[in-house]
Structure formats: C-alpha cells, structure tokens
Structure 1
C-alpha cells in the first residue's frame, strides 16, 4: 500500500515539473499581422475646355503725334501737331476661348473702344502768311479692337489665379470730323478711318466665383499703329493728316464662364481607393 502511494506521489511530482517544460517547448502560433492600409492613388485633374467672356473697361489713350500737308506757294509743306492729347473713355468687349490645360489658354476677343475726345494745336501763319498764329484742333476717335490672345496662368491659390498674356491683331479706327480754328476762321476736315495693325500686353488675376464662373480683373496695354487722321479740306488747303499711332492703357474687369471640360474652380474628383483585401486567420 505504501509502495503504491509513493509511486502516485512521484508521478504527481513528475507531472508538475515536466508539464510546464513540455508546454514551453510547444511552438506558439505566429501572430496575425494586420493588412497594410490601401495605397491611395491621386488622380490628375485634367483642366481644360471652352469658355466665353465679357469685359468692360476704362481706358486712357495717348496720342503719339500727328503730321499733315499744307498746300501753298510751294507744292506742299510738311507740318506737325505742336500738341495733342486724348481723354479717357469706356469700352466693352466679348470673346471666346479655350483652356488648353491648367497653365495655358487662348482666346479671340473683340472690344469696342468708346469715343476719346482729342484736343491739339498747330503752329503756323495766318492772314495770308504774314502773321504767326496757333490753331486749336478738336476731334475724337473710336475703335474696334480684334485680338488673338494667349495667356499663361501661373497657378491657383485659394481660388485666385494670376496670369500674364499677349495678343496680336488689328483695329478699325474712326476719327470724327477735325475742327480747326485760328485767326483765319474755322475749318472742318472729314475724319479718316481704316484698319491698322495692333498688339497688346496684359496682366491680371481671376477669382473663382463658382465652379464655372470666374471674375477677371486686370490691366492691358494696347498699341495701335498710325494711320489717316483727317482728309484734305479745300478751303484751308490743308490735308490729309496722319496720326503716328495711339497707345491705350486699360483697367479691365469681366466674367469668364467655362462650359466645357474640367474647370480648375471645381473641386477635384475623389481619389481612387481600392477595396481592402480580406484578412484570413487559421
């Protein structure tokens, strides 16, 4: 009996000592690693499409000088204006363009430039060429300016996109009747008109009002080549006359509406997110 009890006690002691050791030797299952988060691929925004625009401005014109012909005892005498200045006026225009990408666009514009009043003077001789005198000359000009333009949009920050641009085209210029007044009386010359070469440089910024509409504010410098200013008048034996060109400084404001393609004012599309892969455990 005591022998049996001793054997049971030894067995219990062996089990208590060997059990933890055997359990430590058993291989533990590997931990289950969580799957890495899916890679979010940013989709490029393909900005581009057709747009229309409308603008108004106030412009200041600078008279580049003028020359005319006087017929007298000699076959002809070349004369020049002693002074000349032009007042400011309003303009309005419209155009259609295409946004090629986020940084480049082009458009065609037509602007009607309202009448700018002209006042100038000439030096000469009155009373049959015996008395020196100064005349006063008044007129006005208006123009239709047609330009093909290209712009670089520098970038967009908080809805604001600064830009620079240039344009080339032509201007149809119309001078009104020139009124010449001096000691000999008042003389009237029919105004000249015709097409001339023109170019422009501009800078400004646009602001997103909606996902399709932009407010555009900027400055434009335009140069219109010289051309006929007035015709010959037989009662004064003077004419024709030619201006040497007109420089125009404009402060412009308007709206652009993009009706095709992706606008850079629109929120970017949601990035593609692949479905997470399922995690399998044993």
Structure 2
C-alpha cells in the first residue's frame, strides 16, 4: 500500500515536467536562406540624348598657284548634335551589396548642324562686294554616328524598400563617324550677281577618349530582374570632323580640314538588369 501511494505521488510530481520537456523538444522550423546570386548580370538600355553644342577649328587652304597650302587656322564657331535616341547593353559583376562594375556599349545617330563666319580675307575679296563687318558665314549639314565603349563602376546606396539609388563613373573610348557634309555660303548682302560658295566634303571618323558620370535608381521587379532609370553625362574629347572639298584636293590639299572640340553629351535612360543565380 505504501509503494502504491509513493508511485502515485511520483507520477503527480514528474508528469508535468516531462510534458514541459516534450514541448521544448518539438522540432524548430528551418528557414531556407534566400538563393545567392552568382554576381553576374546583363543589362539593356534605351535613352534620350539631348542637344549638345561645341566649337572647333578649320584650316583655310590657299589655291593660288605657286603658294598652294594652308594659310591659316580659324575658329569654327558652332557645331551641334541634335536630339537623338540611344541604345545600349552590357555585362556586369556585383562584388558586394554596395559595389558593382560593368562594361557597356552605347550608340546614337544624330543630325549635325554647323555654322562659322567667313574669314576676313574672304569678306574683303572684291567678288563678294562686302566690307569687313558685313554678314557672311558658312552653314554645314551632316549626320554622325557615335559609339561609346565604357568600363563603369557603381556604388549602390542604402535601399528604400525595393528602390536602390546609385552613383557611378566610367572611362573608355568613343568612336565618332561623320557623314559627308554639305556646305552653303550665306551672304545676304553680297553684291548682285555673286554666286555663293557650295561644296560637299567627305566625313572623317576617329576613336577618342571618353569618360562618364552616372546617377539613378534601380527598382526590384522580381528577385533577379530590376528596372534601372538614371541620368548619364558623357564627355567626348576632340577629334576629326571633315576632309577638304574636291576643289581644295585638286590643288594638293590632303587630310582633315575641320576638327571639333569634343562634346558634352547628356542622356536620360531606362533599362533592365537581369542577375544570374
């Protein structure tokens, strides 16, 4: 009888403890970690290039027999790239949550318009019938293809929900290829009967140094896809524009006659970045 009472007492004391221990030993839910990105991504962009203006210089070739050659160099007053659409793509790698790099190729084709004053020796030529302060200028019309190949680095700033602001910089090369240019002399006050000068010159092309600054934000659309919207400033250094016309070449002129002083290109763009797992 005493043993039975002792057993009942032990059961009463230890059953709650065992029950509590069983609760503690219940399986703990395992949270699966988010899949890790490989670091690699690809991107595609479209943009709008705003008008940009520059100047340059050009060589005056003297055709007078016996003294053929470059007489002097003159300032080219204004050269403009018109608004244009741009297209680009690239491959990148993310090293950390804050730092990534990519290599990009971008392209746009623009209308080109230029204007420069006639030099004093032209204005005072008797055929023009002008004084040194009368109006006379050359107008140019052409087109240009502009390619940029850049290596870029970005710093991603703290994320706000699904939005991540960023800043970046790039360095690389630009290819600028001009089409043939049509030149028209504008001389509203030239003497009656004067035939204004017209010509067509071959376009030049070359590779130049280029650099860029970027700022924008990305918006996460899915785990691997982001919308990238931003602004890009590209500095393209000086280079060749147009060769001499046929008349100058017939007197021995060779090489490039007109050079531009480079362009500051402002672009707003939007694109998609896809990150690989």
User: Which range, TM-score by smaller chain?
Assistant: 0.7 to 0.9
Determine which structure has more spread, i.e. the larger CA radius of gyration. 1
Q: Of the candidates 45, 54, 79, which is equivalent to residue 84 of structure 1?
A: 79
Q: 2:42 aligns with which of 52, 69, 79?
A: 52
- 1:33-112 aligned at under 5 Å gives the runs 49-72=39-62, 75-112=70-107
1:53-107 CA distance string (max 9 Å, x none):
1000011242321101002267421111223322110010111111111111111
Are the equivalent residues in 1 in contact too, given 2:109–2:143 (CA < 8 A)? no
In structure 2, do the counterparts of structure 1 residues 172 and 140 end up closer, same or farther at CA, with 3 Å as the change threshold?
same
Q: Which residue of 2 aligns with 1:250?
A: 267
Contact 2:113-2:139 within 8 A present in 1 as well: no
Cα RMSD after superposing both structures: 3.0
Determine the structure 2 residue equivalent to 1:273: none
Residue 129 (structure 1) aligned with residue 125 (structure 2): yes
- Segments of 5+ residues of structure 1 without an aligned counterpart are 1-28, 262-282
CA contact (8 A) 1:231 1:241 kept: yes
Matched ranges for 1:25-36 at <5 A: none
Task: Say which of 217, 220, 227 aligns to 2:232.
Answer: 220
Using the size of structure 1 for normalisation, the TM-score is 0.73
1:151-190 CA-to-partner distances (Å, cap 9, x unmatched) read: 0011222110000001111011101112111153211111
Deviation at 1:233, TM superposition (A): 1.7
CA distance in 2, matches of 1:41, 1:213: 24
Give the equivalent residue in structure 2 for 1:145.
Answer: 148
Alignment size in residue pairs: 233
Aligned to 2:193: none
For residues 226 and 186 of structure 1, the distance between their equivalents in structure 2, rounded to whole angstroms, comes to 26
Task: Determine if contact 2:79/2:112 at 8 Å carries over to the other structure.
Answer: no
